[in-house]
Amino acid sequence: MNLYLSDVRRLTLWNRHEARLREALEAWRRRTYWYAFPEDPKEYGEEAAAEGEAAFRSQLNKPFDRLRQSARRWLLSDEVSPYTREPLGISYPQMEVAEALFHAQEALSQWRWVPYTERLGLLMESIQRFSKHFFEVAHATMHTTGQAWMMAFQASGPHAADRAVEALAVAYGELSQIPSQVQWVRDFGKAQAVVEKYFIPQPEGISLHIGVSTFPVWNVLPGLYASLAVGSPVLMKPHPRAIYPIAVVVSILQELFEEYGLSPAIVQLLPDTVAEPITKTLAEHPLVRIIDYTGGTEFGNYLEGLPGKVTFLEKAGVNGVLIESVEDMEAVAKNLAFSASLYSGQMCTAPQNVYIPREGVRTPQGVLSYEEVKAILTKAVDDLSSHPKAAPAILGALQNDAVSERIEKLASTAAAVHRAPQAYAHPQYKAARTLTPIVAEVASPEDKAAHTEHFGPRLLFIPVESPQRGLETLYQLAREKGMLSCAIYTTDSDFKQKAIRLLAEAAVPLSFNFRGQVFINQSVAFSDFHGTGGNPAGNASFTDASFIVKRFRWIGVRDCLQA
């Protein structure tokens, strides 16, 4: 029985990439350090940086004409650089939602019957081709999100590509563990039954992927490649302020599919504007069965409540830090200052609430008082933010004005402000929308501000009566609001074990004693799970098995040959 639409050329791609994918799967299982793409820009050749920037510059104020899809009209995007405050001036082809769904349904009937090995070969090839565009996408990310250049390169380039490979590796593991065909034989006395059995993986249906303005590639690629791997076509609905970076990825996929005899509509870009959104129309359509989303909790809850949908959501959380005891308070402060300042705190994993025992923090030199700990942390943030070279490279720019408005509101409602937020002068972009972190304080863990995510550059000091009370507060906050990161500093092994057991029950990813060059808001492909899917901050994890298996079903077919 041969139901599949196989092709010799696509099989060649599988043969080319199979060993690398197997290596990635083994790395995912080991959870030790491994990468598919180096994060150092120098590894990509001497000319790559200049060529990538030139490609970015040449795209500005022009139609993005690389896509293999029809256009009802060319949509001028809402993309404005946070650095120059000038529109990118890029227009994208826009089609009617009904037309896109029609093409996706046609593509589904083809893509679902391509052997999964050939799908994986094609998708691995697309990531390899994407690596040739890392520098262009870095500039596109920088000038849509406000990320500093190095972060934009790594997050939207090698780190995003690694997560895509990770998703394909997990899909390979799940799809290959069940044989496609077996012969089942059983003796019934003198008679023998022989049944030929076939096991066919089939996708849930069409996937909708809803992009985010701050990480338009990193947050999208895991779900995009997971859906494509299991045979689901994808409708890519980017954030209206950050279309260009993911449009490059979509164009590469479409070109590759067409080159290998498949419909480019297997993945389609569906841009919209802030004034005329189409996300709800897409999400509510009965043909859309799978939804991936990163963004605010309110809209995430709406998506999760839609009937008949399988959702993979990353929403907002309130990330906590508890300082019980430390070896070196200065090192801890520098690490937390970096984590809070990186990309001006516009990361779902950035720390916010810092719980400090009123009795102080134990160190080898003695107990630091509550006031002393606050002063050391505040100075670390101030030192980093005022550094003329470090600040631009770490803070970057604010994606939109709502971020600064949110931080200003926190400043007006906090019990105390130890460091006021203020703009810094970017050395290259004089018009850049910038803001250094606020360091504020509330009176108690019960304060409303301590139960709200203040997405942006911030640290919030919160006194707790004891370390144990701090642990209980973290647990309650995680159950109520969710967390995507949590850090605890302690030199007490018993306290550490107690924290692990309590916070694991709340499905909180936990980091102990991070200092030096490892930071709590960074998760590493093939080793760290990004999110747990077990608390209100999200129902999915990059990249565990459930991130793949919920997207498809095993269909059994039995053919009785002898009875």
Q: What is the pLDDT of residues 467-512, one digit of tens each?
A: 999 999 999 999 999 999 999 999 999 999 999 999 999 999 999 9
DSSP state of 542: B
- Euclidean distance between CA atoms 346 and 350, whole angstroms: 7
pLDDT recorded at residue 151: 97
pLDDT recorded at residue 189: 87
Give the H/E segment covering residue 134: helix 134-145
Query: Which residues, at least 6 apart from 92, have a Cβ–Cβ distance to it below 8 Å?
Result: 63, 64, 67, 74, 75, 77, 243, 247, 269, 271
* Co-location of 160 and 20 in the same domain: yes
* Co-location of 340 and 212 in the same domain: no
Q: Classify residue 519: in a domain, yes or no.
A: no
Per-residue pLDDT of 259-277, as tens digits, reads: 999 999 999 999 999 999 9
Q: Classify residue 222: in a domain, yes or no.
A: yes
Does the structure show a pLDDT above 80 at 1? no
What's the total number of domains in the chain?
2
* Co-location of 134 and 21 in the same domain: yes
pLDDT recorded at residue 281: 98
pLDDT recorded at residue 5: 87
Does the structure show a pLDDT above 90 at 514? yes
Per-residue pLDDT of 135-151, as tens digits, reads: 999 999 999 999 999 99
Q: Classify residue 483: in a domain, yes or no.
A: yes
User: Final residue of a domain: which of 493, 512, 531?
Assistant: 512
Domain that holds residue 264: 8-315+541-562
* Co-location of 39 and 127 in the same domain: yes
Average pLDDT, the chain: 97
Query: Which residues, at least 6 apart from 131, have a Cβ–Cβ distance to it below 8 Å?
Result: 37, 44, 157, 158, 161
Beta bridge partners of 562: 194
Q: How many CB atoms lie within 10 A of CB 438?
A: 25
* Co-location of 301 and 440 in the same domain: no
What CATH number corresponds to the domain at position 374? 3.40.309.10
Q: Classify residue 488: in a domain, yes or no.
A: yes
What is the model's pTM? 0.96
Q: Is the dihedral of CA 490, 494, 497, 498 positive or negative?
A: negative
Q: Classify residue 188: in a domain, yes or no.
A: yes
What CATH number corresponds to the domain at position 58? 3.40.605.10
Q: Classify residue 232: in a domain, yes or no.
A: yes
When pLDDT is averaged across residues 416-431 and rounded to a whole number, the result is 96
Are the beta carbons of 292 and 216 closer than 8 angstroms?
Answer: no
Q: Which one, of 37, 290, 16, 22, lies nearest residue 171 by Cα?
A: 22
- Euclidean distance between CA atoms 554 and 551, whole angstroms: 11
pLDDT recorded at residue 4: 86
- Euclidean distance between CA atoms 119 and 198, whole angstroms: 19
- Using DSSP's 3-state secondary structure scheme, residue 156 falls into helix
* Co-location of 202 and 81 in the same domain: yes
HEC string for 184-227? EEEEECCEEEEEEEEEEEEECCEEEEECCCCCCCCCCHHHHHHH
* Co-location of 270 and 396 in the same domain: no
Per-residue pLDDT of 167-189, as tens digits, reads: 999 999 999 999 999 999 999 98
Question: Peptide bond before 413: cis, by omega within 30 degrees of 0?
Answer: no
Are the beta carbons of 388 and 378 closer than 8 angstroms?
Answer: no
DSSP per position, 104-116 = HHHHHHHHTTS-H
Per-residue pLDDT of 26-54, as tens digits, reads: 999 999 999 999 999 999 999 999 999 99
pLDDT recorded at residue 563: 85
- Euclidean distance between CA atoms 532 and 485, whole angstroms: 10
Q: Which one, of 390, 379, 392, 387, lies nearest residue 334 by Cα?
A: 379
* Co-location of 265 and 360 in the same domain: no
Are the beta carbons of 383 and 335 closer than 8 angstroms?
Answer: no
> How would residue 2 be classed by pLDDT, with cut points 50, 70 and 90?
confident
Per-residue pLDDT of 374-400, as tens digits, reads: 999 999 999 999 999 999 999 999 999
Residues across the chain = 563
Instruction: Say what percent of the chain tops pLDDT 90.
Output: 98
Question: 112: buried, middle or exposed (CB in 10 Å: 19+, 13-18, 0-12)?
Answer: buried
Q: Classify residue 522: in a domain, yes or no.
A: no
Does the structure show a pLDDT above 80 at 241? yes
The alpha helices in 414-484, defined as continuous H runs, are 467-480
Q: Which one, of 545, 524, 521, 542, lies nearest residue 31 by Cα?
A: 524
Q: Classify residue 39: in a domain, yes or no.
A: yes
Are the beta carbons of 532 and 508 closer than 8 angstroms?
Answer: yes
* Co-location of 23 and 105 in the same domain: yes
- Euclidean distance between CA atoms 362 and 479, whole angstroms: 28
* Co-location of 251 and 357 in the same domain: no
* Co-location of 281 and 386 in the same domain: no
* Co-location of 361 and 437 in the same domain: yes
Give whole-number Cα distances, 53 to 135, 247, 329, 412, in Å: 7, 16, 41, 41
> How would residue 247 be classed by pLDDT, with cut points 50, 70 and 90?
very high
